[in-house]
Amino acid sequence: KAGVTQTPRYLIKTRGQQVTLSCSPISGHRSVSWYQQTPGQGLQFLFEYFSETQRNKGNFPGRFSGRQFSNSRSEMNVSTLELGDSALYLCASSLDSSKNYGYTFGSGTRLTVV
Amino acid sequence: KQEVTQIPAALSVPEGENLVLNCSFTDSAIYNLQWFRQDPGKGLTSLLLIQSSQREQTSGRLNASLDKSSGRSTLYIAASQPGDSATYLCAVIDRGNKLVFGAGTILRVKS
């Protein structure tokens, strides 16, 4: 059974540009969450989507946004990139409400902003 | 606000040793607790999921316990091997339906 697939694996962008990251969850999983990992702040929650609706949002500026499609695939967009947005972005999928099933993570997208 | 702390921050042990990684959280109103492993530059691999009604879970050489009342979890690794070298992350699933992570324990097992 295929795992969580994130594309692309690596990205280099220039300050001020925007970027879109993609996540395909495990088949049948309806919950997709996004996390940012940096050496200084560790792993921080960005947002969660369930059945195409954003169910929860972390404490990030409005430049970070996302969406989920009817097939549960999710995209995350960051506009007006800043140097501090350089990070490993991880996507996690879960079967349903996540309360009893736990999360499975993808391999991540390494974003470098120059 | 839920906070998760992991002790120690780093650990270096000789191969074959049994070891314990500690995790504590400030709000006992959690749904589940999940232990992950992360190799350098890679994503997270789930090791064990403990539901809030459970006290422990076992998988191979790994055993994780959960004491909600005291806000603690431990991950026990038996007979450590060099391949166990990685960062181990503890995360609680809180009422906001999100994972709150600790900073991790960097484990090095020397051959």
Report how many Cβ contacts below 8 Å link chain A to chain B.
60
Evaluate if residue A34 carries a pLDDT over 90. Answer: yes
How does strand A109-113 pair with strand A104-105?
A: unpaired
Q: Check residue B63 and give its pLDDT.
A: 98
Q: Check residue A111 and give its pLDDT.
A: 98
What distance in Å separates the CA atoms of residue B79 and residue A8, rounded to the nearest whole number? 37
A92 touching B (Cβ < 8 Å): yes
Average the pLDDT over each of B17-26, B28-37, B101-110 and give the range with the smallest value. Answer: B28-37
Share of chain B above pLDDT 70, in %: 100
A66 touching B (Cβ < 8 Å): no
Torsion of CA B35, B60, A104, A60, to 10 degrees: 10
Of A55, A90, A99, the CB nearest to B93: A99
Evaluate if residue A97 carries a pLDDT over 60. Answer: no
Strand ranges (E), chain A: 5-7, 10-13, 19-24, 31-38, 42-50, 53-57, 64-68, 74-78, 87-94, 104-105, 109-113
CA-nearest of B78, B105, B102 to B24 is B102
B89/A43 Cβ within 8 A:
yes
Residues of chain A found within 8 Å of residue B99, distances taken between Cβ atoms: 33, 35, 43, 45, 92, 103
Total residues belonging to chain A: 114
Average pLDDT, chain B: 95
- CA atoms B37, A19, A82, A11: torsion sign: positive
B103 touching A (Cβ < 8 Å): yes
Hey, is B102 helix, strand or coil?
Answer: coil
For A35, the token pair is 């996390």
For B67, the token pair is 């004491």
Q: Check residue A98 and give its pLDDT.
A: 53
How does strand B44-51 pair with strand B56-59?
A: unpaired
Burial class, B16, CB count within 10 angstroms (exposed 0-12 / middle 13-18 / buried 19+): exposed
B45/A105 Cβ within 8 A:
yes
A67 touching B (Cβ < 8 Å): no
Kindly write down the DSSP assignment for every residue of A66-93, as one continuous string: EEE-TTS-EEEEE-S--GGG-EEEEEEE
Task: Measure Cα distances from B104 to A78, B44, B95 in Å.
Answer: 27, 12, 22
